[in-house]
């Protein structure tokens, strides 16, 4: 009887040791280099394919029948979302279009908890979350996925601060901030959501649809006139703009790169820009307003196409096209064309608009501005700085600027330059004035202030150098 008791004790001790080893292994998988201990397995779909996605835990050994020797009932709750049981239906309903599902934490507003755990389901059309994983669970929210949605991938900074890997999914009305303790799981969700977004047809605004229609019908005057007559969105208005003319991705982070300037989101800044444009008609000093618009567009690249479209709109079918107030739009468009170019689609639309204006108002100030802008578009490349106040004043009158170049010693010369003149072009003209055109020596321009002196690269636009001096 004593021997039996000792044997039982020995068995219990061994079981206890095995349990400790198992707990240590599980602890290592969860807390030490979890990115390496988790493995994403996907039989039907990678990040670039289609089909149901599968996430499993990598196991070092397997039993003879191909299983790992454990059932779902033996796995802790926090690991169940990484395992798909082949004997159960995939999700709340047996739907083959469900791509990924599992437990994730999400930010919540109010209350003492910052994050709560929900059951998330990704389909071809939306990202939904439910109160639980059981069939018939209550759906708590839906984020419809379109081509304008965006995903921000997990970053180490958030993980170091919170202990969670985070992804953000931006929709039209909502932003889901999702958290998980496992890096591979976060990447898996981000990849799957991005794949769904990439399969969606591009979302276009009415203005973008009409721009395409105009491009397709530009050789048919009757169709073009019909388009303009029946679509007020293309024409001048005194009413405010409540939404951008172009579509912008949800969750664009462009404005965060210039947080010191207090920019709002890109769509909000687009609406503000149109309000600034309308103020041009009544302001006494348009130079500062024009410079502010140019600076905003130089900082927030997506707004460049938008402001071109807004100016095309405000210079089309104007009730009083020859007034000084209306010509302010043309003056801003002139400054814009000498600072940066729009993308090809908008550039074609702009060129078509300029030719149309020239044919409708020949020998007018609008015709003169349109001709100047057409020439500028052939030469312009993106500027480093917005035009100075002096340059803007000259551009408003379609005039060149006067630049002074000092020689070594006491001499100097004055040259007329445009918004496109480079240092090499100025240097060539200076050498001609000095009779050094055939010299074998190397010459360069230098910019100098009270603190430093440095050479100017040959491709540098001289107007940018002058702007830096005036700041």
Cα(470)–Cα(214) distance, rounded to whole angstroms?
42
| Range with the poorest average pLDDT among 24-28, 271-275, 305-309, 414-418 | 24-28
The pLDDT value given to residue 464:
94
Of these ranges, 9-18, 84-93, 413-422, the one predicted with the greatest mean pLDDT is: 413-422
CA angle, 34 as apex, 33 and 39 as ends, to 5°? 120
Q: How confident is the model at residue 182 (pLDDT cuts 50, 70, 90)?
A: very high
| Percent residues over pLDDT 90 in the chain | 62
Considering just the CA atoms, what is the radius of gyration of the chain in Å? 32
Q: What percent of the chain has a predicted confidence (pLDDT) above 70?
A: 77
For residue 388, pLDDT over 90 is answered with: yes
What's the pLDDT band for 360 if we cut at 50, 70, 90? Answer: very high
Task: Evaluate if residue 426 carries a pLDDT over 80.
Answer: yes
Q: In what order do the strands lie in the sheet with 139-144?
A: 139-144, 126-130, 115-122, 100-107, 175-180, 165-170, 150-152
Q: What is the pLDDT of residues 123-180, one digit of tens each?
A: 999 999 999 999 889 999 999 999 999 999 999 988 998 899 999 999 988 899 999 9
Reading the block at residue 2, the tokens are 């004593």
CA 5 to chain centroid: 72
Alpha-carbon distance values, 405 to 418, 421, 430 (Å): 15, 14, 8
Report the pLDDT value the prediction gives residue 221, as an integer from 0 to 100.
94
- Supply the pLDDT for residue 442: 84
| Mean residue pLDDT across the chain | 82
Residue 150: phi, psi to the nearest 5? Answer: -140, 155
Above 60 in pLDDT, residue 197? yes
- Residue 22: the pLDDT is 47
Who wins on pLDDT, 299 or 8?
299
The pLDDT value recorded for residue 265 is 87
17/156: higher pLDDT? 156
The pTM assigned to this predicted structure is 0.75
Tens digits of residue pLDDT in 285-300: 899 999 999 999 999 9
Q: Which of 52, 33, 25, 31 is nearest to 41 (CA)?
A: 52
Model confidence band, residue 259 (pLDDT cutoffs 50, 70, 90):
low
Q: How confident is the model at residue 84 (pLDDT cuts 50, 70, 90)?
A: very low
Closest alpha carbon to 345 in 314, 298, 290, 304: 304
Q: Which residue has the higher pLDDT, 356 or 451?
A: 356
Asked whether 246 and 148 are in contact (CB, 8 A), the reply is no
Give the pLDDT confidence score for residue 173 in this predicted structure.
85
The two structure tokens encoding residue 17: 């040791």
What is the separation, in whole angstroms, between the first and last Cα of the chain? 98
Whether 254 shows a pLDDT value over 80: the answer reads no
What are the structural domains of the chain?
35-58+76-198 (2.30.29.30), 206-396 (1.25.40.530), 401-470 (3.10.20.90)
CA gap 403, 131 in Å, rounded? 70
What is the H or E stretch that residue 30 is in? helix 2-31
Task: Summarize pLDDT for 224-236 with one digit per residue, the tens.
Answer: 999 999 999 999 9
Reported confidence tier of residue 104, pLDDT bands at 50, 70, 90: very high
Instruction: Yes or no: say if 47 and 191 are a contact pair by the CB < 8 Å rule.
Output: yes
Q: Which residue has the tokens 């009757």?
A: 222
* CA–CA dist 393, 256 (Å, integer): 31
Are 349 and 312 spatial neighbours (Cβ–Cβ below 8 Å)? yes
Tokens of 442: 């190397």
At residue 178, what are phi and psi to the nearest 5 degrees?
A: -110, 145
Distances (CA, A) of 78 to 9, 53, 162, 227: 33, 19, 18, 58
339/294 Cα distance (integer angstroms): 8
DSSP symbols for 78-94: HHHTT---TTS-STTTT
* C-alpha 48: how far from chain center: 22
Least confident of 70-74, 147-151, 340-344: 70-74
Can you state the percent helix, strand and coil of the chain, rounding each to 5? Answer: 45, 15, 40
Distance separating alpha carbons of residues 349 and 313, to the nearest angstrom: 11
Give the model's confidence band at 95: pLDDT under 50 very low, under 70 low, under 90 confident, else very high: low
Question: Given this model, what pLDDT does residue 310 score?
Answer: 98
Backbone angles phi, psi at 98, to 5 degrees: -70, 125
pLDDT given at position 256 = 63
Q: For residue 68, is pLDDT > 50?
A: no
Provide φ and ψ at 254, rounded to 5°: -55, -40
Q: What is the 3-state secondary structure (H, E, C) of 245-292?
A: CCCCCCCCCHHHHHHHHCCCCHHHHHHHHHHHHHHCCCCCCHHHHHHH
Per the listing, tokens 């300037």 go with 261
54 falls in which pLDDT band (50, 70, 90)? very low
């Amino acid at each position: 009887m004593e021997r039996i008791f000792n044997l039982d004790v020995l068995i219990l001790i061994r079981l206890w040791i095995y349990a400790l080893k198992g707990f240590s292994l599980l602890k290592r998988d969860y807390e030490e280099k979890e990115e390496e201990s988790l493995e994403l397995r996907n039989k039907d779909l990678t990040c670039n394919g289609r089909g149901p996605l599968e996430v499993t835990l990598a196991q070092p050994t397997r039993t003879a029948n191909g299983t790992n020797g454990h059932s779902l009932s033996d796995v802790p709750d926090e690991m169940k979302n990484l395992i798909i049981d082949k004997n159960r239906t995939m999700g709340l309903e047996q739907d083959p279009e469900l791509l990924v599902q599992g437990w994730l934490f999400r930010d919540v507003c109010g209350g003492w908890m910052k994050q709560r755990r929900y059951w998330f389901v990704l389909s071809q059309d939306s990202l939904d979350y439910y109160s639980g994983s059981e069939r018939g669970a209550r759906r708590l929210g839906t984020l419809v996925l379109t081509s304008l949605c965006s995903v921000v991938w997990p970053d180490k900074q958030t993980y170091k601060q919170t202990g969670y890997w985070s992804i953000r999914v931006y929709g039209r009305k909502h932003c889901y901030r999702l958290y998980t303790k496992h890096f591979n799981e976060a990447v898996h969700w981000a990849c799957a959501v991005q794949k769904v977004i990439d399969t969606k047809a591009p979302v276009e605004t009415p203005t973008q649809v009409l721009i395409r229609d105009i491009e397709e019908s530009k050789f048919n005057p009757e169709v073009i006139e019909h388009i303009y007559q029946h679509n007020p969105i293309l024409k001048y208005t005194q009413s405010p703009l409540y939404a951008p003319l172009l579509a912008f991705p949800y969750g664009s982070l462009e404005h965060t790169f210039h947080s010191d300037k207090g920019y709002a989101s890109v769509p909000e800044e687009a609406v503000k820009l149109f309000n600034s444009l309308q103020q041009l008609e009544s302001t006494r000093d348009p130079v500062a307003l024009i410079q502010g618009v140019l600076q905003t567009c130089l900082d927030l690249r997506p707004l460049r196409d938008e402001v071109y479209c807004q100016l095309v709109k405000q210079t089309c079918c104007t009730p009083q096209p020859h007034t000084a107030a209306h010509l302010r739009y043309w003056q801003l468009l002139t400054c814009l064309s000498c600072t940066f170019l729009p993308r090809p689609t908008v550039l074609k639309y702009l060129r078509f608009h300029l030719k149309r204006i020239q044919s409708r108002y020949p020998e007018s100030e609008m015709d003169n501005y349109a001709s100047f802008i057409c020439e500028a578009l052939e030469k312009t490349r993106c500027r480093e700085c917005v035009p100075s106040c002096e340059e803007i004043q000259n551009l408003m009158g379609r005039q060149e600027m006067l630049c002074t170049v000092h020689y070594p010693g006491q001499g100097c010369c004055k040259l007329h330059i445009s918004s496109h003149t480079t240092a090499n072009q100025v240097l060539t003209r200076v050498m001609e004035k000095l009779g050094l055109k055939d010299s074998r020596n190397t010459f360069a321009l230098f910019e100098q202030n009270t603190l430093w002196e440095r050479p100017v690269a040959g491709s540098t636009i001289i107007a940018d150098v002058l702007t830096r001096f005036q700041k």
